[in-house]
Structure 1
């Protein structure tokens, strides 16, 4: 066996061991790409993930020339190219030499930067079985074509990476299932223990108020009844958040039910076909829940409007009330934990959130999520 083949086997073994140990997607891809470049003639590389709608996302890159790295790799982030087009069309099956790269040429022209001799790259799909995730691209200065052996090595590494990507995705799915199961268990426990206890205290306070004639004692029992009723409503809202009801009939029906549980009248307006991934549906549900909680606690009204618009690229959710509103100072923190929670959820999926409000002018929350 030739020394080059032994070297390749050693590299594949090293990359396989690394992939097997990593549990975080980005760290895994970055490390595997770095090891590939260190052990081969390839000197620079980048990885795209491409979703089912054909939208690409630059996940990691290593040792890019200035022309590609400038402005947050904007020429890799946007625009078209041969490799992505072939991937979208299902025509890219194995490692291939790229005759020319539109992205590299556009970057060199636009930025007037040195491309370090990088003009062409090789590309290979990342997949596991019939499931495809994206592309691994590599390049070497002053090289317009790689040998069959180099492409074969690239395919082997891509196969390893694709299998590791699938493993991490499956692990995350299992974690989500476990999380849902734990939420359901906690919701049942709260319903069977604390919820029932609060209900009993409410009945006891009502009975005490009716039995006693002294105004002071009656008022004390009345206050206890009021506080326990508020605590009971809060507990039911918490149980709803842990185990949402009504989602099987659609997210808007589920939110209408949640609003009714809070004592709110909800007007729903929907545009577009709602057929959302479960993770996106839950994100929207949680954001709207927080907004409705704020209406009940702070707005001073018992009605709210929900608008949901779904397009081919975005989801727009608007929650509106005609309540007392608030004055938001950009130099200060958000006025409630609920607003901060919504902002964090939106940011976690790459969306945007804005508020339009004023004292005694109501509040309008606008959420836009990529779809």
Structure 2
């Protein structure tokens, strides 16, 4: 066996061991790319994820020349190119030499001195079986063509990375299923125990009001009844959050159902076709839940308006009420309002949450999520 074949086998073994140990997607891709460059003639590389809509995301890169790095890798982040187009069309099935890359050409035009000798690159799809995830691109200074042996090695590494991507996706799906099962178990336990106890206390307090003639004791039993009824409403809302009924019919029906639980009258207006990925739908649903909770607890009104707009790239949600509102600088002193929780949920999928509010002029919550 020739020495270069032996070194290739050792490299593939090292990359495979690394991929098997990693559980975080971006860290895995960055590390695998780094090991590939350290063990081959390739000197720079970058990885795109490409979704079914053709939207691309630069998810990892290593040792890019300054011309490609500048302004947060804008020449790689924006625009189209031959390899992405071929990938989207299903015409890119193996490692290939790219004669001319539009992204590199644009970067060289803007920064002719700092391209590091990079003019061409090789590309290979990342896939597992029939499932395709994106592209691995590599380049070497002053190189316009890679040999078949080099492309074969690139294909082997891409196959390993594609299998690792699929493994991480499956692991996350299993974790999500386990989380849903645990939520359902907790919801059942709360319904069968705490919820029933609160209901019993409510009935007992109501009976106490009827059994005594002393006004002071009557008022005490009434107060217990009111407090317990509020607690029962809170508990039912919590159970519904854990195991929402109606969400299987879509997010709009789910939110209407939650509004009913809270005693809110909702006006809902929708633009666009609501057919969202599961992760985005749940994130949007949880943010809207928190917004409706805030209206019930803090606004002083029991009416709200929801406006949902779905475009080709974003989901826009506005939750509006005509309640008492807040001064924005006072929101920091209202931890129960859960604003940071909403922001954290939105950021987890690359979105944003903003507020428009003033005293006695209501509140608008503006949510934007990409998908």
Structure 1 Cα separation of the partners of residues 287 and 250 of structure 2: 15
What aligned pairs does 1:8-47 form with structure 2 within 5 A after superposition? 8-47=8-47
Q: Is the 8 A contact 1:334 1:340 kept in 2?
A: no
Query: Relative to 1, partners in 2 of residues 1:330 and 1:48: Cα closer, same or farther, differing over 3 Å?
Result: farther
Give 1:206's aligned residue: 206
2:153 partner SS:
helix
RMSD, matched Cα: 1.4
Contact 1:95–1:155, Cα closer than 8 Å, also in 2: yes
Of the structure 1 ranges 331-340 and 317-326, higher mean CA displacement relative to structure 2 is found in 331-340
Between the aligned partners of 2:341 and 2:41, the Cα distance in structure 1 is 47
Q: Distance in 1 between matches of 2:250 and 2:142?
A: 56
Q: In 2, Cα distance between the equivalents of 1:51 and 1:248?
A: 24
Query: Cα distance, 1:95 vs. partner?
Result: 0.4
Contact 1:99–1:144, Cα closer than 8 Å, also in 2:
yes
Instruction: Provide, for residues 79-129 of structure 1, a one-character-per-residue CA deviation record: whole Å limited to 9, x for no partner.
Output: 111111111111111001111121122123224551111111110000001
Q: Distance in 2 between matches of 1:140 and 1:120?
A: 8
The 5-angstrom pairing of residues 336-351 of structure 1 reads: 336-351=336-351
Q: Which residue of 1 aligns with 2:363?
A: 363
Q: Secondary structure of 1:329's match?
A: helix
Q: Which runs of 5+ in 1 are unaligned?
A: none
Whole-angstrom distance in 2 between the partners of 1:11 and 1:126: 18
Q: What pairs up with 1:7-156 in 2 under 5 angstroms?
A: 7-156=7-156
Contact 2:67–2:108 (CA under 8 A) maintained in structure 1: yes
1:229-271 per-position Cα deviation (integer Å, ceiling 9, x unaligned): 1111111111111001111222111111110111111111111
Deviation of 1:336 after TM superposition, in Å, equals 4.3
SS at match of 1:276: coil
C-alpha change, 1:250 and 1:208, in structure 2 (3 Å) is: same
Any conservation in 1 of the 2:352–2:368 contact (CA below 8 Å)? yes
Kindly provide the CA deviation profile for residues 326-353 of structure 1, in whole angstroms up to 9, marking residues without a partner as x.
1102995776442221111111111122
Residue 309 of structure 1, CA deviation? 1.2
Distance 2:40 2:334 in 1: 51
SS in 2 for 1:223: helix
For 1:246, the equivalent position in structure 2 comes to 246
TM-score (normalised: structure 1): 0.97
CA gap 1:245/1:331 in 2 versus in 1, 3 angstroms = closer
Residue in structure 1 matched with residue 166 of structure 2 by the alignment: 166
Q: Which residue of 2 aligns with 1:226?
A: 226
Unaligned runs of 5+ in 2: none
Give the distance between the partners of 1:115 and 1:343, measured in 2 at CA: 39
Of 222-231 and 133-142, deviating more is 222-231
